A and B are shown apart, each in its own frame.
Chain A
């Protein structure tokens, strides 16, 4: 093959942004299947809706910013943002909520900061937080696991609930309830013992019923990403270890403070956050040591917000708070250069 570039190197590896994003999407498939199994087809409806909204917002913004459509639409980053946000919000969110969250993430969090590669904050998480603080009620109620539900939600009911807000004369709130994390938090306030709470039908072996498996599938997908070298192990390992350590310490000091350390590992957005959110390269730390600091910070903040904060889960806030610290972390965690670097 004749060379194209006039400057070295003239070779290039097979690595591509599109390829990386595509592998992230593939790694999400097992967890999406698991979520669909536990919460019904509403999950898929949400994902599709979010991706369509994201691609439209991306196209409009690229046009407005006078950027070429093909390379940026095909990079896959908008789809990844959309899928992550769709998996983070309740399956039965009304369609307009999903659309607002996704378009806000793409337009305000990504493109107004300069588009791909320039956003200091994780778009999916800022979109999520926007929805959380704007629509707290809708955002903190989830569908129960299908096996606990009196009437499983099928395709028809999912579509009707998402797009009209009603099915069989009942609203979304009639079908949904608290998440295990939420239940744990509100019942602890009522002075119930975590072990008692965990014995309720909403809970499974270690975490919430269904939720624990969803978390495991997220983790397995993430491990595959590490194996494929799309992400490095530093952020997830640091985040999981930090969460494990801080929850173990607090539980040792006060066993009634919250669920077990294991409960926190496989509940809520822990694994989604550890392998798919906190590993976002654009808004995360880039040095190896920095990634460990970043991951550990997310893990600790997640737990702190879950236990002492006002929201049942804290991954999104933890990630955004750590995003703010990234320039600082990166500056102070530079690796030692070969030869020690120039002394200036």
Chain B
């Protein structure tokens, strides 16, 4: 059944540093006094609060509803009282605040009533998707896209393959690894539901070969489910960025997702093992998504490991629990060291997309004092999208954005391989992000300008039309007036002639 593996161009062999956080089983983070829940922890529209300040909430109770199609619900991670609804700092590179619901926990962990579904096959795929949406499930790999949308093949697509992305290629992160080791059965629960919802014919569970424990745990779990004969575990070579959706698809299927298309366009849907696990919990146990496994690791963490953490738990509590050598206000990383982002303050909550908190790394990139590009082409050699980063850099720097599009800027996945190998230490990805943002801003401006111009033109057209109509009316009125005048004049003429006649007659 399994085809020989393909490979994607470029990529890097990076030191994994995973052992640091895989020595201990997944532990529970202690309950914090306050949990801060941003209304937007996913891609799409922010959820809308349905609780009020002072209201008592139970663990798992819905506290905000989905707004619009691309959105999911939000739940109380534990029982307590809603203490605030308002702006709070969120874990975002911008350092901005956003609307959040704050819950003061009561430590009782009292659950709301849970609706368990014993046989999900009795339900329609639509109903299951609705439950998954109501359970607030989003992609837990880091992007946070609402999962129910990615479980809907729609009318125009047929999904052949469900691809569970257990590559976890970024250094230091190990939450998926630990989840697969410890909760392989729960992941397969979710896989079964996902296969059913997608009407997919097969499932590939791809795991990098640096995770032998996860591979054997998944294999063992799979051997207990003979009915999952169309599900296979594919061991992929450890190479960054194998976990990139498009790269993994190429490795396991040999196919490439065409530019500007989605995997579903070639019959593939990708999900993260953590998401599969959450789907299983939501359907079979009625538990909404209220926690996740977070890797806390890095060279400055004393007790690195993986922690089942309630959403809203302040990062500072988690870091205090793990003990770090971090100085106050020293930036740390959320996500991986290649594609994560830096956060400065630690009074920030753990959200659905927080897969890793990383404090201190080896081989740290130096402060940006780049030398000029010497066009060595090392960046092009490692680019998994086969781009020419040195050309993109040149044109991004020169703000020649048309040229950057000629060189396919928007196929860049921002994996950071080019940065990593650059001998001049140029922050290439930052340049590409800048160029992308500029282009998108320009396009927005264009659209705005187009709209304004259209409005202006249609206004001019309307004015002109009105003017013409007015003139037409005036003309008609004039014509009518003239006609009536003429008629009158004629009438008058006859009467006056008559009168003159009479006058003349009289005169005569």
Binding site for B on A (CB under 8 A): 1-17, 19-20, 71-72, 75, 77, 114-118, 232, 281-282, 284, 286-288, 291, 330, 334-344
Contact = CB atoms under 8 A, between A and B. Distances in A.
A338 B384 contact: yes
Contact of A3 (B333, B377, B406, B433): B333
24 contacts: A1-B299, A3-B342, A4-B366, A7-B93, A7-B427, A7-B429, A8-B335, A8-B338, A9-B416, A9-B419, A10-B340, A10-B365, A11-B338, A11-B361, A13-B420, A71-B371, A117-B372, A282-B374, A286-B375, A335-B387, A338-B8, A339-B258, A342-B405, A344-B405
Contact of B330 (A2, A116, A282, A342): A2
Contacts of B406: 344
B361 A20 contact: no
B430 interface: yes
A268 to B, nearest CB: 27
A341 B406 CA distance: 9
B372 A1 contact: no
Interface stretch (B25-33, B203-211, B407-415, B481-489): B407-415
B261 interface: yes
A12 B420 contact: yes
Query: Which secondary structure dominates chain A's binding surface?
Result: loop
* Candidate in B330, B335, B386 with the most chain A CB atoms within 10 angstroms: B386
B365 A5 contact: yes
Nearest to B359: A2
A305 to B, nearest CB: 25
B388 A335 contact: yes
Interface string B187-216: 000000000000000000000000000000
Given A12-B425, A13-B420, A336 B340 contact: no
Interface string B415-449: 01001111111010110010000000000000000
Query: Which secondary structure dominates chain B's binding surface?
Result: loop
Contacts of B261: 339
Nearest to B418: A9
B339 A232 contact: no
Given A281-B375, A282-B375, A337-B259, A342 B410 contact: yes
B246 interface: yes
Contact of B423 (A10, A17, A339, A343): A17
Contact of B380 (A10, A11, A286, A342): A286
Contact of A116 (B339, B374, B380, B387): B374
B368 interface: yes
B430 A11 contact: no
A284 B375 CA distance: 8
A334 B403 CA distance: 13
Nearest to B382: A13
Contacts of A115: 372
* Candidate in A16, A291, A341 with the most chain B CB atoms within 10 angstroms: A341
B408 A341 contact: yes
Given A5-B367, A17-B371, A10 B259 contact: no
B368 A5 contact: yes
B423 A2 contact: no
B345 interface: no
A7 B342 contact: yes
A255 B221 CA distance: 74
A275 to B, nearest CB: 15
B376 A10 contact: no
Nearest to A335: B386
A8 B337 contact: yes
Given A3-B333, A6-B331, A9-B338, 20 more contacts: A3-B332, A3-B361, A4-B368, A7-B342, A8-B333, A8-B338, A9-B339, A10-B338, A10-B340, A11-B338, A16-B425, A116-B374, A232-B377, A286-B377, A286-B391, A334-B388, A338-B259, A339-B259, A339-B261, A342-B259
Interface residues of B, number: 76
A281 B390 CA distance: 11
B419 A341 contact: no
A6 B364 contact: no
B182 interface: no
Contact of A334 (B384, B407, B433): B407
Nearest to B434: A7
B122 interface: no
A118 B375 CA distance: 9
B360 interface: yes
B306 to A, nearest CB: 20
A15 B421 contact: yes
B154 interface: no
B341 A11 contact: no
Contacts of A335: 9, 380, 386-388
A11 B331 contact: no
Contact of A342 (B260, B300, B365, B369): B260
Contacts of B258: 339-340
* Candidate in B259, B326, B369 with the most chain A CB atoms within 10 angstroms: B259
B256 interface: yes
A337 B10 CA distance: 12
B44 interface: no
Given A117-B373, A337-B408, A341-B259, A10 B333 contact: yes
A9 B337 contact: yes
Contact of B391 (A19, A117, A281, A330): A330
Contacts of A334: 388, 407
Contacts of A232: 377, 381
B49 interface: no
Contacts of B260: 339, 342
A16 B12 CA distance: 17
A118 to B, nearest CB: 7
B171 interface: yes
A291 B333 CA distance: 39
Contacts of A291: 377
Contacts of A286: 375-377, 380, 388, 390-391
Contacts of A116: 371-372, 374
A12 B423 contact: no
Given A2-B300, A330-B391, A11 B365 contact: yes
A15 B9 contact: no
A17 B424 contact: yes
Contacts of A281: 374-377
Given A9-B338, A287-B377, A340 B259 contact: yes
